[in-house]
Amino acid sequence: FAGNRGRILNRDQLLEQAHDRDWDPYDRSIDLRISRLRKKIERNPRKPEIIRTVRGLGYIFG
C-alpha cells in the first residue's frame, strides 16, 4: 500500500496484495484493516489525512 503512495487502490487491488487466497466480492477485511491502520497512525482516525477514502474508487495513501 505504501509503495503506491498517491495512487488510488481499490479493494480488489489491496486484497491481491494482502492475501494469497480467494475472496468473495463482498469481503470487508480490507476495510477492517484500513480502520485499524488509521487508529494507529492518524491523529484523528475519523478525519484521516494519511489514508483517505476516495468514494466509489478505493483508498489512497499519502
CATH code, domain with 18: 1.10.10.10
Q: What is the pLDDT of residue 18?
A: 74
Q: What is the pLDDT of residues 1-57, one digit of tens each?
A: 788 899 999 988 888 887 666 666 667 888 898 999 999 999 999 999 999 999 999
Q: What is the pLDDT of residue 21?
A: 63
* Domain interval for residue 10: 2-61
Q: What is the pTM of this model?
A: 0.79
Q: What is the pLDDT of residue 25?
A: 61
Q: What is the pLDDT of residue 26?
A: 66
Number of domains comprising the chain: 1
Instruction: Give Cα separations from 57 to 2, 8, 10, 12, 49 (angstroms).
Output: 17, 7, 6, 11, 17
